[in-house]
Structure 1
Amino acid sequence: MDDDRPDVLLTGLLFYDLVLTGLGRPPTPGEEIWTGGMGCGPGGIANLAVAASRFGLRTSLATVFGDDYYGEHCRDVLCDQEGVDLSLSRTADGWPTPVTVSVAFPQALDSARAGGTPIHDRALITHGQEPPYSQDVLMGDPPDARTALVHLEARPREWLAKAAANGTQIYADVGWDPTQEWPTALLEQLSLCHAFLPNETEAMAYTRTDSAVAALGTLSELVPVAVVTRGGDGAIAVDQITGEYAEVPALDTDVLDATGAGDVFGASFVAASLGGWPLAERLRFAVLAAGLSVRHHGGALAAPGWYGIARWWRSLSDPGLRRAYGFLADRVPADPGPPVHHAPVTPPAPHIPVGPRACEGPH
């Protein structure tokens, strides 16, 4: 409690997300389909920022906002509503905030892994341009922070090594490689990391293995804490520092929109790790938070925070789940805070800013 550093340091590209749900199938060319669900709000790196902040973590975000309506709305949500520190962020004149339209729909996959039941997927359409400020420019000499949540890319970022040298614990994930080359050189960056949290497809591709368990074994030799997420099959992890291994199932839940679930998982795992929890509890907590997030539209504003976790725990009647998640009785705060804001169908009308707010950086 006497550590005034940011709990979580973040940088990356921010998007304005418009999410459409309730589609029984994807549209075909020339066809119009009406849908029953829609939500909007900040996305991209905002998913991690909001998920972390809703667990009471001091969250510092370095990103770029466009000087347009979308950028103003995202800045309002992050700064005024969610309490994210934006002092490292910038507003770029004449640069449009990237916009993503996400179309979520169930796909029935008759496979052994899916068990013949519908699983959910989404299609994304994005408009955007390369931001005028790079991550390294935004970060400069990064501030001391307890942790940083990063997305590893083929070209290493200079700020990452600086942050690690400062004593910041790096929690990293990685994204889909559109070239499908999966260069193993990317794993060299794990020497800077405390934890690595890829999904099973990414983990197997980068390690050249044929199962999530084998991939986890390879990754555990490269990074102190290795986690492999498995979607509907839950997650597995190894902590070489404590000698723990854990495997937990996914939460059985109705999926509205899976956007940002992986980001919620990562932020939740960091929150539990900062609390010093055992590995199995960290993993169950992250799986739970991700499972609760897919019940709502969008990524950032679907994050449950302590309010959502507390509400789920206090209404839980399933004896098996109460045993598995019994640790929450000692973890959930007595006051989990006010209800969280979920993605609205339409955002509020824009306002004219009077001047920089306390959590903002230069415009």
Structure 2
Amino acid sequence: MHELDVPVLDVVVSGLVFKDLVLGLPTAPRPGTEVWATESHESPGGIANFAVALARLGLRTGMAAAFGADATGDQVWGYLSAEGIDLSLSRRLAGWQTPLTVALAYDNDRALVTRGTSPLLSADELITTPPAARAVAAHIGPWPNDWLAKAKAAGSVVFADVGWDPTEQWGPAVLDQLQHCDVFLPNADEAMAYTRTDSPEQALRSLAERVPLVVVSNGAAGAIALDASTGEHVAVPAFPVPAADSTGAGDVFAAGFIAATLWGLPLAQRVRFAALTAALSVTRLGGADAAPRWADLADWQAAHPEDQNLQALISAHSGR
């Protein structure tokens, strides 16, 4: 491969970016009452969870997203730039507010409230030519993502995730975009809703008819994966950790899986590494800002010497 043929970036991600305000609550709020948050944290969210998690794992990461030309957008842009993320494919848009999400974290789960409107530029308008990247990742949904087909034709491995549908219609046409994807990484609730199935396993097998590799994360129940080309099926338990906030955990899981894929790990190790990165992220408030660094992974390994599964990988990277 000639030097000019080497991809500029490891991964380019695209989707909606938010500013998240996470409030840790002792109990769920009820109408007519006031609940005092025990702690709070501000952090970029949405596709930024992907980007920050990937960058902290050492991957050269670019992001194509719309930012409002407002104080919130400037703050999120500055945070992502400081994390080393290439924002040359992103744009600041005058007259449009950067979306804001308030995450209410309680009872080992969270509820989200978002203020925002659709951005004035789509991913296809932000990415007019295929990015020079080993892989691309996107949140698919009821919007066009024709750039994914271009990226795949250009040689990038295409990963896709999907978010919550606020209409709760779960239009199956969204899954048509999987024809351009190599790997699909939904959580269990999303997978079952879009496939109209009753269990994560049923959803996994339904989705495997559409995309070569499917990985379904399921919180404290762990994760399952199915390689449609080989028939390999993997089930990995979750890592037991004290959970503070699950905001962005699915995105961090996906980022860990993408990184492990680019490192060439076997499927079972990829899923296990993804589960570990997600588990560490839920021990702190925030989405992107809770994504683990190699030092966090090394600390976990030191505290769990009996778990040898990922020791060599963590040891090789944590000293960098």
Distance 1:255 1:70 in 2: 28
Q: Contact conserved, 2:185 with 2:217, CA < 8 A, in 1? A: yes
1:332 aligns with 2:320: no
1:30 aligns with 2:12: no
Please state how far the C-alpha of 1:234 moved relative to its aligned partner: 0.3
Distance 1:67 1:165 in 2: 33
Partner SS for 1:125: strand
Aligned ranges 1:1-363 → 2 under 5 Å: 3-21=6-24, 23-80=25-82, 82-106=83-107, 120-317=108-305, 319=306, 322=307, 326-334=308-316, 336=318
Distance 1:190 1:41 in 2: 30
Distance 1:221 1:91 in 2: 39
Partner SS for 1:173: strand
Q: Contact conserved, 1:144 with 1:167, CA < 8 A, in 2? A: no
Distance 1:47 1:63 in 2: 13
Partner SS for 2:9: coil
Q: Contact conserved, 2:27 with 2:35, CA < 8 A, in 1? A: no
Distance 2:48 2:102 in 1: 16
Distance 1:95 1:156, change over 3 A: closer
Structure with greater Cα Rg: 1
Please state how far the C-alpha of 1:239 moved relative to its aligned partner: 1.9
Distance 1:242 1:275 in 2: 20
Partner SS for 2:178: helix
Distance 1:127 1:207, change over 3 A: closer
Distance 1:174 1:79, change over 3 A: same
TM-score, normalised via structure 2 length: 0.92
Distance 2:207 2:69 in 1: 41
Distance 1:235 1:93, change over 3 A: same
Distance 1:182 1:129 in 2: 19
Distance 1:70 1:186, change over 3 A: closer
Distance 1:165 1:310, change over 3 A: same
Distance 2:189 2:110 in 1: 17
Distance 1:244 1:302 in 2: 32
Deviates more, 1:190-199 or 1:29-38: 29-38
* Unmatched segments (≥5 aa) in structure 1: 107-119, 339-363
Identity of aligned residues (%): 50
Q: RMSD in angstroms over aligned alpha carbons? A: 2.0
Distance 1:174 1:260 in 2: 12
Distance 1:94 1:264, change over 3 A: same
* Unmatched segments (≥5 aa) in structure 2: none
TM-score, normalised via structure 1 length: 0.82
Deviates more, 1:124-133 or 1:190-199: 124-133
Partner SS for 1:146: strand
Q: Contact conserved, 2:248 with 2:288, CA < 8 A, in 1? A: yes
